[in-house]
Amino acid sequence: MTLLQISEPGQSPNPHQRKLTAGIDLGTTNSLVAIVENGTPKTLAAPQGQHLLPSVVRYLSNSIIVGAEAKQAATHDPSNTIVSVKRLIGHSLDTLTAPEKRLPYRFTLEKNATIPRIHTNYNKITPIEVSAEILKVLAHRAEDYLGGTLTGTVITVPAYFDDAQRQATKDAAKLAGLNVLRLINEPTAAALAYGLDQEVEGIHVIYDLGGGTFDVSILRLQKGVFEVLATAGDAALGGDDIDLLVMDWMLQKTTLESNIDGNIDHHTSRALLQYACTIKETLSTTEQVSVRIPSFHINPNNPNNSNSSDVSHGTHKSNNIHETLIHETLSDTDLGILDRNTFDTLIEPLLRRTLTPCRRALRDAGLHLQDITKVVLVGGATRIPKVRQLVTEFFGVPPLTELDPDKVVALGAAIQANTLAGNPTHHDILLLDVIPLSLGIETMGGLVEPIIPRNTTIPVARAQEFTTFKDGQTALALHVVQGERDLAQDCRSLARFELRGIPPMVAGAARIQVAFTVDADGLLSVTATERTKNIQAQITVKPSYGLQDQEIEGMLKDAISYAQDDLEARKLREAQVAAQQVIVSLNSALDTDGDTLLNSQERELIDQALQTLESSTQGTDAITINQSREKLEEICNFYVERRMNLGIQQALTGLKIDNVTI
């Protein structure tokens, strides 16, 4: 077992420091980032938990929003919200084909330029710039997780991308500040994720049904190298078309369509489509869903027109008002059950259309069905059981499905990036050592927050975000500890340092990233960065001596025998911290508007409960503390509500001013 040694950061020789790399699947509908950790690739989630980042970018007057929030805005703010930019990248106006031209954008070509620009209300941007925004978000996600700057990335592109499209993708990466180690073909990445490169040789089919596109590729593996033998596809066929079929089914079941002469407004149809998409995805794992839709407010004056590209400044605000979907629970329409069989029948003709490109690709490659070794499924829409059934029937072999079809391309890209950077692959990583005891930092209440768990293979880099506890807090003391116990006082103290110069903010607003890096020699360095102002800690990690094996054993034994005590202690500390948080924020609220929003009786009631909580935190009973906190919170409900209403009123007043100035 390697002993963990601590050295001053920057002074360690770090001869085998792992290079930080990531793989990015820059998709038409969704994009993802993956990294290799301990020899295994994994995709990374946003702080809210989603791995998939919708490939949607929204431009506002002074900010840019990427992902789910932007996607929500695509309906009411289409001209500033760019979707499916991958369909445009690397194209000149002449080479854009019908499906791309359907996108609701206005393009211009500047003098002497070849790259068309998309008009938003605020700027004219190139598809390269839009793609760069998506790449930036994903690269940051990886850097946040790894706690350092990426030295190289691999980005995937469809096998059919031509030179111009590949170059444009590289330019986007450059604009995002990324060092591209290589662009690799999406089907190749999928094959790598399945480890097909480890096999001697074979001919593999990659069947990729995404949101708006279908691609099939035939790869030949020979002497460890993949060669694309043929590609085919349909640029206007994907999961989105299935959503449309489900929406049609819903409309046929209602009187909605006849009521409005076949014209439903854009907002309503988007809402229905979104619902159809959920139904579709649910049916991949359940046999039936019951479909209920609320009644819709139909605006006869506004059929489908919010798609037009010349929507002017601020229009989305008014759209918001008159295109609102009104939920009237009483007049809900129950459309009955959509079962898997009906759904399958509904979509089968569409799915069969994917088989034509499959036949074409086989013919182009000069191959027959019996030549195929493996079939790999890629793309979210291949989760649909009917797709799997058709593919199995057509190719005569059950496809590989163990990996998430919407993550598989990113996973392969991460593997490739890791290999290209010369990092250990999953074969040699087994020879490497592990961290003997967990490494973490002390948080409020003397509790330990583990950052790198025990037995993690080194080298490793991990980061976590913390925030301030008090309003206006400008410094943060960090205490790095090692061990398995819940309380910092029972762990081994490794280093203490301070992050100063945090701009004063309300409690919880600062974003402090603490990054731990352990290199292949077991040397630890820790950095703390305040992210809103990018202030880095003056790192003073004190060198200390390595632990002996017996000491490690002793610490582990203690952790086991004190587990129950630790649990009790943790519960008490957590209750105290939660209570303290309520006390601090309540006091600050009372200072602000306690006098104006509360009468003296109400104030007294709150003060009493506050006092009870304060005195209970002095005790050692977690349950009593939690009960008094909950009691206080309950008593304060009406006060919180008043404060919120006040806040909303203020916000609305602000909005009006906003509207006037636009």
* CA angle centred on 384, ends 380 and 386, rounded to 5°: 145
Task: Please classify residue 585 by burial: count the beta carbons closer than 10 Å to its beta carbon, then call 0-12 exposed, 13-18 middle and 19+ buried.
Answer: middle
Which part of the chain contacts ligand ADP (CB under 6 A), choosing from 24-32, 163-171, 575-583, 624-632? 24-32
What's the min distance (Å) between Cβ of 415 and ligand ADP?
A: 18
- Which sign does the torsion angle of CA 108, 111, 114, 117 carry? negative
Decide which of Mg ion, ligand ADP, none touches 151; Cβ closer than 5 to 8 Å per partner kind.
none
Closer to ligand ADP by Cβ: residue 146 or 381: 381
How many chain residues are in contact with ligand ADP, going by CB under 6 A?
22
Q: What is the largest CA-CA distance in the chain?
A: 87
Which part of the chain contacts Mg ion (CB under 5 A), choosing from 24-32, 163-171, 191-199, 385-393? 24-32
Residue of 383, 410, 566 lying closest to 55 (CA atoms): 410
Question: For the window 251-270, what string marks contact with Mg ion as x by the rule CB under 5 A?
Answer: --------------------
List Cβ neighbours of 133 (8 Å cut-off, separation of 6 or more): 57, 64, 66, 176
What's the min distance (Å) between Cβ of 210 and ligand ADP?
A: 3
Which part of the chain contacts ligand ADP (CB under 6 A), choosing from 145-153, 206-214, 324-332, 558-566? 206-214
Task: Looking at residues 361 to 380 of the shown chain, list those that interact with ligand ADP (rule: CB under 6 A).
Answer: 379-380
Closer to ligand ADP by Cβ: residue 58 or 573: 58
List Cβ neighbours of 574 (8 Å cut-off, separation of 6 or more): 445, 447, 622
What element of type H or E holds 377? strand 374-378
Residue 28 found at the interface with ligand ADP (CB under 6 A):
yes
Which part of the chain contacts ligand ADP (CB under 6 A), choosing from 247-255, 277-285, 583-591, 606-614? 277-285
As a whole number of angstroms, the distance between CA 577 and CA 360 comes to 65
Closer to ligand ADP by Cβ: residue 156 or 616: 156
Residue 381 found at the interface with ligand ADP (CB under 6 A):
yes
Task: Looking at residues 525 to 564 of the shown chain, list those that interact with ligand ADP (rule: CB under 6 A).
Answer: none
User: Measured at CB, which residue is nearest to Mg ion?
Assistant: 27
List Cβ neighbours of 488 (8 Å cut-off, separation of 6 or more): 442, 446, 447, 448, 479, 481
> Which position among 129, 171, 186, 521 bears the catalytic label?
186
What's the min distance (Å) between Cβ of 412 and ligand ADP?
A: 13
As a whole number of angstroms, the distance between CA 247 and CA 270 comes to 10
208 is catalytic: yes
Residue 383 found at the interface with ligand ADP (CB under 6 A):
yes
Closer to ligand ADP by Cβ: residue 247 or 636: 247
DSSP track, 189-244: HHHHHTTGGGSS-EEEEEEEE-SS-EEEEEEEEETTEEEEEEEEEETT-SHHHHHH
Task: Looking at residues 175 to 214 of the shown chain, list those that interact with Mg ion (rule: CB under 5 A).
Answer: 210
Closer to Mg ion by Cβ: residue 28 or 628: 28
Per the rule left: phi > 0, alpha: psi between -120 and 50, beta: everything else, 31 is beta
Residues 593/636, Cβ–Cβ less than 8 Å: no
Which part of the chain contacts ligand ADP (CB under 6 A), choosing from 64-72, 106-114, 207-215, 304-312? 207-215
Residue among 23, 27, 233, 440 that touches Mg ion (CB under 5 A): 27
Which part of the chain contacts Mg ion (CB under 5 A), choosing from 6-14, 21-29, 286-294, 599-607? 21-29
List Cβ neighbours of 198 (8 Å cut-off, separation of 6 or more): none
What is the SS3 assignment for 458?
Answer: coil
186 is catalytic: yes
Residue 405 found at the interface with Mg ion (CB under 5 A):
no
86 is catalytic: yes
Residue 27 found at the interface with ligand ADP (CB under 6 A):
yes
As a whole number of angstroms, the distance between CA 583 and CA 551 comes to 41
> Which position among 25, 129, 240, 442 bears the catalytic label?
25
What's the min distance (Å) between Cβ of 217 and ligand ADP?
A: 13
Residue 277 found at the interface with ligand ADP (CB under 6 A):
yes
As a whole number of angstroms, the distance between CA 166 and CA 161 comes to 6
Per the rule left: phi > 0, alpha: psi between -120 and 50, beta: everything else, 237 is beta
Closer to ligand ADP by Cβ: residue 340 or 631: 340
Residue 384 found at the interface with ligand ADP (CB under 6 A):
yes
407 is catalytic: no
Beta-carbon-side half-sphere exposure of residue 147 (alpha carbons within 13 Å)? 25
Which part of the chain contacts Mg ion (CB under 5 A), choosing from 19-27, 176-184, 195-203, 630-638? 19-27
Q: Where are the beta strands (DSSP E) in 475-571?
A: 475-482, 492-500, 512-518, 523-530, 535-536
What's the min distance (Å) between Cβ of 227 and ligand ADP?
A: 23
> Which position among 144, 171, 208, 442 bears the catalytic label?
208
Q: Give the pairing type, strands 202-209 and 374-378.
A: parallel
Residue 406 found at the interface with ligand ADP (CB under 6 A):
yes
Q: Which residue has the tokens 């102002």?
A: 533
Residue 240 found at the interface with ligand ADP (CB under 6 A):
yes
Question: For the window 41-70, what string marks contact with ligand ADP as x by the rule CB under 6 A?
Answer: -----------x------------------
**Which residues are known catalytic residues?**
25, 86, 186, 208
Which residues make up the interface to Mg ion (CB under 5 A)? 27, 210
Which residues make up the interface to ligand ADP (CB under 6 A)? 27-30, 52, 210-213, 238-240, 277, 280-281, 284, 379-381, 383-384, 406
